[in-house]
Chain A
């Protein structure tokens, strides 16, 4: 059972592939064959995306904080440390000050209590931010993006184009089927083979 759950995506892809292949080979109706082809394509897409999945990883889009760190790193690589230290010190101090003030006023006024809580929340939000900056200054490597946190972008790229190209090929296939229907008045394979000639083996 464990093995089944661990490989669930792969099993689904094999099953979908089998359904698609069966429809492509055995169905008599050309449209049904195309439906089989589309199911087959979906199976391939599922397979690729499953390969690119990582446990606990996010979508492969960096957030802007990470972009910002990169920019700061590029521009002021050497002066960054002092600046960040002083800046952060001030920032944290004022924050705490504000929070204290609000907390002091909180006894008298309900709304200001809410204010205080939002401020401390904000402060909490800032906390990991500051921590990362420290890391960044202390150890150069730890500010690098951890590849394990983002799922593999390559299968996504390949499948993005594969989907659109799949639609175009499906369009071409459908137009061929329509042309066949205009010529023979049928989209059943054995009908068409019978019309093509008596020698044709249905």
Chain B
């Protein structure tokens, strides 16, 4: 049996990298060591001990994600938006006549399974309600905009799998998805801009207590995090669905799987 030279080269490279990583492992702190540099560092300690005083958000991960590292998260959202746009730019093309005809005939003749459709009709509202819970309850339990957005997107993908892409696009069209994904980024960046207009820094939520009713500077941070998470959820939801729709239909947005 002839072995390809590329495989030998790959094996050598992988063994080299692996042995380097394994030899470097001796310098790692022990697993689960609370006093390791990463765990006992000033930053992590500050987040854990000060988060309740500074933001009143019990979920430290949410507080760090949406407030302390707000810039990072905002540009992550932009990355997702850009990924959706890139996929459209690479694959999107107008459906040619033959494939449109094919999709129409397929839609007419396709056998709609009663059990699948009924199950979905029952499941999808529950899934979406749960997604809203995950988004809104991200301050107090594991969750937030990214997770809730993905669950919302999954509910639309489920709809497209069962009812067909055409039927789903009638409800949640490509245009709407693009619009919502942009709205999400605008909500996030707009919150930052409003902070600037009120005299603070970009994404410095404390100054928002001037316009949010019944808040002090600390609660304003907590509420602004929810606003920002909603923006993230919009973007993630629509881009997840868009990725599925474009990939499954080969860019024609007609037949789908």
Judge if A105 is at the interface, Cβ distance under 8 Å.
no
A52-B38 in contact (CB<8A): yes
- Nearest A-chain residue to B76, judged by Cβ: A161
Return the contact of A22 from the options B11, B36, B83, B144 (Cβ within 8 A): B11
Q: How far, in angstroms, from A179 to B142 measured CA to CA in the complex?
A: 38
Q: Interface digits, A61-85 against B, CB 8 Å rule (1 contact, 0 not)?
A: 1111011001100100000000000
A147-B45 in contact (CB<8A): yes
How far is the CB of B34 from the nearest CB of chain A, in Å?
A: 4
Q: How far, in angstroms, from A148 to B40 measured CA to CA in the complex?
A: 8
Interface positions, chain A 164-181, Cβ under 8 Å from B, are 164-165, 167-169, 171-172, 174-176, 178-179
Q: How far, in angstroms, from A59 to B62 measured CA to CA in the complex?
A: 12
B36-A51 in contact (CB<8A): yes
- Nearest A-chain residue to B72, judged by Cβ: A161
B84: which A residues are within 8 A, CB to CB? Answer: 168, 171
A157-B28 in contact (CB<8A): no
Judge if B10 is at the interface, Cβ distance under 8 Å.
yes
Judge if A21 is at the interface, Cβ distance under 8 Å.
yes
- Nearest B-chain residue to A150, judged by Cβ: B48
B60-A61 in contact (CB<8A): yes
- Nearest B-chain residue to A7, judged by Cβ: B25
Q: How far, in angstroms, from A155 to B84 measured CA to CA in the complex?
A: 26
A174-B52 in contact (CB<8A): no
A17-B44 in contact (CB<8A): no
Judge if B14 is at the interface, Cβ distance under 8 Å.
yes
A154-B47 in contact (CB<8A): yes
Which of the candidate stretches A8-16, A107-115, A118-126 sits at the interface with the other chain?
A: A8-16
B247-A157 in contact (CB<8A): no
Residues of A within 8 A of B (CB): 6-11, 14-15, 17-18, 21-22, 25-26, 50-57, 59-64, 66-67, 70-71, 74, 144-145, 147-148, 150, 152-157, 160-161, 163-165, 167-169, 171-172, 174-176, 178-179, 182
11 interchain pairs, CB-CB under 8 A: A18-B14, A21-B14, A22-B10, A26-B11, A51-B39, A66-B52, A145-B48, A147-B39, A147-B45, A153-B48, A154-B44
Please give me the 7 A-B residue pairs with the lowest Cβ-Cβ distance, nearest first.
A168-B83, A26-B10, A25-B10, A55-B32, A171-B243, A60-B60, A70-B52
